[in-house]
Amino acid sequence: MHVGAHVSVAGGVDNAVQRQLDVGGNCGQIFTTSPQVWQEPEIEDDEVDRFVDGSVESSVGPWVIHSAYLVNLATPKADLQEKSRSSMQAELDAADRLGIDFVNVHLGAHTGAGVEGGLDNAAEIIDSLDIPDDVTLLIESDAGSGTKLGGEFEHLAGVIDRTNADIEVCLDTAHAFAAGYDLSTSDAVEQSLGEFDDVVGFDKLSYVHLNDSKHDCGTNKDEHAHIGEGEIGEAGMRAFINHDAIRDVPLVLETPTENGKSYEWNIDRVQELRD
């Protein structure tokens, strides 16, 4: 079972390996820079060597880089398109250097271009990227508020259909739940994942952000909760984690640190729920 957490790279990207081990994870996610600013990764060669060696020696992986929050693939604005493209290329290149398999990104908001226009914009940026052979770009499902794309599985499939690149998907359980895909019972999980398979395909599912939700299904509110203690709940999380289509997919947690519980507690909880 591959389960881990989003960990900090403070002091050097290589520190992420030990931080992952400290919380009991064996795969994981990182930002290469602050996600709130336009800044390209600045990673020294010795950091790269220590990250790669540490990951191999500790059997930690696969890793995924999460792109900056400022990236908006769906935007119709030329200046934001170029900044987004440049940022994504830098993340893909960093992943290649670090031996990281995946780079994850949200589609962003179409801000008036419409769903079809936004999906066209996203595909155009993706097709302009030079994606390294050993790196896969993942499009993440979204909670679906406002003009943001990715809340509907059809949006994910729409970008896959439009692009010439071999992109895949990261499914966020809290986002999907907030967007209206119920995951709170065994039957609901079966139905929602069945819809995902029909629209996108399990063959395109390469990573999962495993998060419970503080808000009800269909509210479009993105606020994560501890595993089994949110509105998805223990029964839903157990059913999801043990679904045949999920069992071999790496799971990374973005759960909060509150009420005396952090990543270590949540990783232990996931392992307890796995049959």
Asked, as a colleague might, if the bond just before 35 is cis with ω within 30 of 0, I would say no
The reported pLDDT for the residue numbered 177 is 98
Instruction: Please give the torsion angle defined by the CA atoms of residues 47, 51, 54 and 59, in that order, rounded to the nearest 10 degrees.
Output: 180
- Spell out the residues 6+ positions from residue 100 whose beta carbon is closer than 8 angstroms to its own: 62, 63, 64, 65, 94, 135
Give tens-digit pLDDT for 35-82.
Answer: 999 999 999 999 999 999 999 999 999 999 999 999 999 999 999 999
The reported pLDDT for the residue numbered 139 is 98
State percent of the chain over pLDDT 70.
Answer: 100
In which band, very low, low, confident or very high, does the pLDDT at 32 lie, cut at 50, 70 and 90?
A: very high
261 forms bridges with which residues in the sheet?
A: 258
As for how many domains the chain has, the answer is 1
Mean pLDDT of 190-213: 98
Q: Residue 97: which CATH number?
A: 3.20.20.150
The reported pLDDT for the residue numbered 171 is 98
Give tens-digit pLDDT for 176-185.
Answer: 999 999 999 9
Max distance between CA atoms of the chain, in angstroms, equals 49
The reported pLDDT for the residue numbered 208 is 98
Mean pLDDT of 242-251: 98
The reported pLDDT for the residue numbered 140 is 98
In which band, very low, low, confident or very high, does the pLDDT at 141 lie, cut at 50, 70 and 90?
A: very high
Helix axes 45-58, 78-98, angle to 10 degrees: 60
What is the average pLDDT value for the chain, to the nearest integer?
Answer: 97
Domain that holds residue 70: 3-273
The reported pLDDT for the residue numbered 230 is 98
Burial of 255 (0-12, 13-18, 19+ CB in 10 A): buried
